[in-house]
Structure 1
Amino acid sequence: MMKLSPNVRRAWNHRESGMRLKARIIFDYELLYLEKGQLTIRIGDTIHTIMPGDIILFKPGKEHEFIESSGECWMPHIHFDALHEDDFEEVPINYKNLSECSQKEKGWIREEVLESVLQIPDVIRVENHGEILKTLQQLIHTYERRDLDFFILQKSLALKLIYLIVKGLEASQASGLKVHDKSLDATATLIMERFDQTILLEELSKTATLSVFHYSRLFKQKYGLTPHQFQMRYRIEKAKDLMIYSPLSVTSIAEKVGYGSVYAFSKAFKQMEGISPRKFIQTFTGMNEL
């Protein structure tokens, strides 16, 4: 995810009656929002009926075709690379199937990361689609004008689109998460307030009024970490602040953030940060521990 650096190849408000497009692959990504009308499309071996509010993400090298449409279709969409590519300006939008592409053209097919890393499907149905449309229209408006700020703004808007889609998918997959959102936040606050103490999972689940199993599952779904991992991360962040801004020894810092021994603290720190506490102090302060 840290390598995401989208570049928009083309962006436009496409309106078409009788929309059809023969089977093809594209080298980049295409994000299409159906604002009006109805589409029947094939992606791989699957036929999809696309209705207003649906979003399609066509992926690099994955064959698709537009079979038919109903009514005038309003289809604001963009072509973009998800990762920065040095040959970005050289690569065109493709309308051929894979067998018709030359070896050079096949070499232009981008690495697929949005599904493999972020689990974004081909067809996206999310409640926040209106916000996604608004951002997509803003990006199209920016592309059409392409002033001096375009390079920065198009990246930020494309990243925002990806973010909104991911958050929309998370929300649609986590109906139980909304119900327990406040109680999960309360347990996260409890962990942060008592980061230097051992807090039993039973106490946290009781605070959230959930079973231990249900609480653990929802907590990880919301924060991406188990409660124990969440506390570990918070402890290490507190320790880093103390190492940079206080004169305390590593042994004293280990005690302050809840570790029973400097060995246990050093092991946890190196596991999370990739370097020892003493190396961290030396790197970020230029000083050796006293």
Structure 2
Amino acid sequence: MEALSISKKTLLLKLSPNVRRAWNHRVPEMRLQSRFIFDYELLYLEKGGLTIRIDNEIHIIKPGDIVLFKPGKEHEFIESSGECWMPHIHFDALNEENFEEVPINFKNRSECSEQEVRWIREDVLGNVLQIPDVIQIENHGEVLKTLQQLIHAYERRDLDFYILQKSLVLKLLYLIVKGLEASESNHLRVHHKSLDTVATLIMDRFDQTVLLEDLSKTAMLSVFHFSRLFKQKYGLTPHQFQMRYRIEKAKDLMIYSPLSVSAIAEKVGYGSVYAFSKAFKQIEGISPRKFIQTYTGVLDS
């Protein structure tokens, strides 16, 4: 697993959710006009079907799908099919001093006052944790079970609720993040062979410039998904992978051939000694000439 980024670790330490409302919403037909909300709304579709719009994207929601409506994002429920069971919660991800005075919003942005617009929370769950609007994960049953526990606790709201609700929302977020990670791992396994083919292509053409678009076509993925999966598998972007491989080839030539630094730079695909030296020092921490002197005892001329 990749090490936590500073921003992600900082957020995880700051998470202190507060539930604004929680309920089992069951209706024979579901429609909701365009609006945006100040907080988060997490909805699990237990039964029925929904067609929703979030910003400019239409989503068909089926049982087992989870929707995270995010602060400031316009959305609407266009239509439903069958009786809809939708346990869901409104919550703040971080502890906010004005939590109790901020209501659930049912208006669009043009109908809201400047004060109301200022109530919009920062979308830390989307921007930092990368949780998408629509979540499809294999462990959705665990999410439903925890969501039901939270709804029951909200309905009672005894003196211990403030501790319990924080722990249950944190558990929900944990289950979602782990579910998304598992989905990504499965997706990576599906494309394992094609990513290896691309890596071999990069190594075979290490002295050439291979466009990212061409690499993604070889992998039969979009540029975005190819770049993300390649880095997940190899820990480097395609460009970084090629640069590292070029430097490894250059090191072999420095140790085992009489070629000059300028000739080696050309052989491994660099247009100038300057560009090669800069890349080499960035990866190895020393200049090419210093490397030659250290490992061969010969000073390159």
Deviations 1:161-182 (A, max 9, x none): 0010000000001127789xxx
Count residues in correspondence. Answer: 187
Structure 2 CA distance for aligned equivalents of residues 218 and 144 of structure 1: 45
Residue pairs, 1:1-290, within 5 angstroms: 1=11, 2-175=13-186, 217-218=232-233
Structure 1 CA distance for aligned equivalents of residues 189 and 99 of structure 2: 40
Identical positions, percent: 75
Deviations 1:175-195 (A, max 9, x none): 27789xxxxxxxxxxxxxxxx
1:112 Cα deviation from its structure 2 partner: 0.7
Structure 2 CA distance for aligned equivalents of residues 89 and 106 of structure 1: 16
Deviating runs (4+, > 6 A) in structure 1? 176-179
Structure 1 or 2, whichever has the larger Rg, is 2
Letter in 2 for 1:166: V
Structure 2 CA distance for aligned equivalents of residues 156 and 28 of structure 1: 18
Deviations 1:132-185 (A, max 9, x none): 000000000100000111000000000000010000000001127789xxxxxx
> Taking structure 1 as reference, are residues 175 and 96 closer, same or farther at Cα in structure 2, changes over 3 Å only?
same
> Taking structure 1 as reference, are residues 102 and 51 closer, same or farther at Cα in structure 2, changes over 3 Å only?
same
Deviations 1:27-83 (A, max 9, x none): 000000000000000000000000000000000000000000001000000000001
Aligned to 1:174, the other structure's residue is in SS state: helix
What is the root-mean-square deviation in Å for CA atoms of aligned residues?
Answer: 2.1
Letter in 2 for 1:96: K
1:18 Cα deviation from its structure 2 partner: 1.6
Letter in 2 for 1:94: N
Aligned to 2:16, the other structure's residue is in SS state: strand
> Taking structure 1 as reference, are residues 218 and 63 closer, same or farther at Cα in structure 2, changes over 3 Å only?
same
Deviations 1:102-125 (A, max 9, x none): 011111100110010000000000
TM-score (normalised: structure 2): 0.59
Structure 1 unaligned blocks of 5 or more = 180-213, 222-290
Structure 2 CA distance for aligned equivalents of residues 122 and 79 of structure 1: 15
Letter in 1 for 2:139: N
1:7 Cα deviation from its structure 2 partner: 0.3
Structure 1 CA distance for aligned equivalents of residues 127 and 102 of structure 2: 23
TM-score (normalised: structure 1): 0.62
